[in-house]
Amino acid sequence: AKGLNVTLPYKKKAAEINGDISKEAKYINAVNTITNYKNKLSLASTDGIGFIDDINSKKFDLENKKILIIGAGAASESVLYKVAKSKVNAITILNRTKEKSEKLQRKYSSIVPISLDANSDCEFDLIINGSSAGLTGKFNPIDNLKFNSDASFANAIRFTWSGVNPVMGAAVIPISFHV
């Protein structure tokens, strides 16, 4: 099989390609992996499963955890799709564009409680950066966040042009692992 990887800003557009689209990619309306096997295209979103596989390999258990997801784009939603089904206690989504985070809240709140207010009394167990700050280098630190003393930070956006992820650089918690 041959294929390609799709990144922002084209993941939503790639979901419009004629092919066999996975259940997850169809639900989130975004594709980041296209494969061609015997002249048949398969479309998938692999950000979420890649994230889950990585944290599982590090023996991090999501069950009953309080999760903060920073970002509301296709990568964040792919991670949210998997994390929401992992018996977490609650999820908070922070995003520059409130409408995008509200849309995700409506879409996933029947699976798990989802808040858009990180300045509550919630102490997060896991903070996931799915924002484009990992790519652009532009990040405004979030004030008044509360974390457990053993909270972990995971980066769903892997690559940075500068080699330093500004979200991780602004983290005030131990960085246990990077996805």
- Environment class of residue 141 by beta-carbon count within 10 Å: exposed (0-12), middle (13-18) or buried (19+)? exposed
**DSSP string for 101-134:** HHHHHHHHTTTS-EES-TTSS--EEEEEE-STHH
20 beta partners: 42
110: left (phi over 0), alpha (psi -120 to 50) or beta: alpha
In 123-166, beta strands by DSSP E: 124-129, 147-155
The catalytic residue among 2, 11, 23, 40 is: 11
Distance (Å, whole) CA 162 – CA 81: 29
**Encoded amino acid at 10, one letter:** Y
Asked if 85 is an active-site residue, the reply is no
Active site residues: 11
